[in-house]
Amino acid sequence: MDSYPGGYSTVFFEEFNPSGGNYVTTTTDEFIFQFDDGQQTSFDDVRTMIESRKGQTYRPWAVLNEASSADAINLMRSATTVSVLRKTPASRTPALVYKFSLAGFTALFLKASEWCGFDANRIPRK
């Protein structure tokens, strides 16, 4: 989760590559964020962005549409995990990339709202 000037927030997944090898994500991949909230709520309005410097990929990420981010952040407060799934053009079948625990998210989010002076129960929508 990240926050931008103007008060809205977004949810994203960034591929981490500490070894400096090739990244797996391509611009044609489609991502889904799925929450373990009892209903398995999913968001598929995710865009893939790949930044590069001097012709080398250094930061591929999947970014949830800002319009859905407030709903996703609210789910992060009640779900136990969020799974990042990826569909490649070859497979078209969503495959698990990573599963994140949301243990402690609510406490951290409430503390961030206190420090930053925003109402955690009224997340701005873009």
| Residue with the two structure tokens 């964020």 | 33
Tell me what the mean pLDDT of segment 87-109 comes to: 90
By DSSP bridging, strand 42-43 and strand 30-35 are antiparallel
Query: What pLDDT, in 10s, does the model give residues 100-112?
Result: 999 999 999 899 8
pLDDT at 9 over 70: yes
Query: What pLDDT, in 10s, does the model give residues 12-67?
Result: 898 887 777 777 788 888 999 999 998 999 999 998 888 777 766 677 889 898 88
Q: Which of 35, 34, 29 is nearest to 15 (CA)?
A: 29
pLDDT at 87 over 60: yes
pTM for the structure as a whole:
0.83
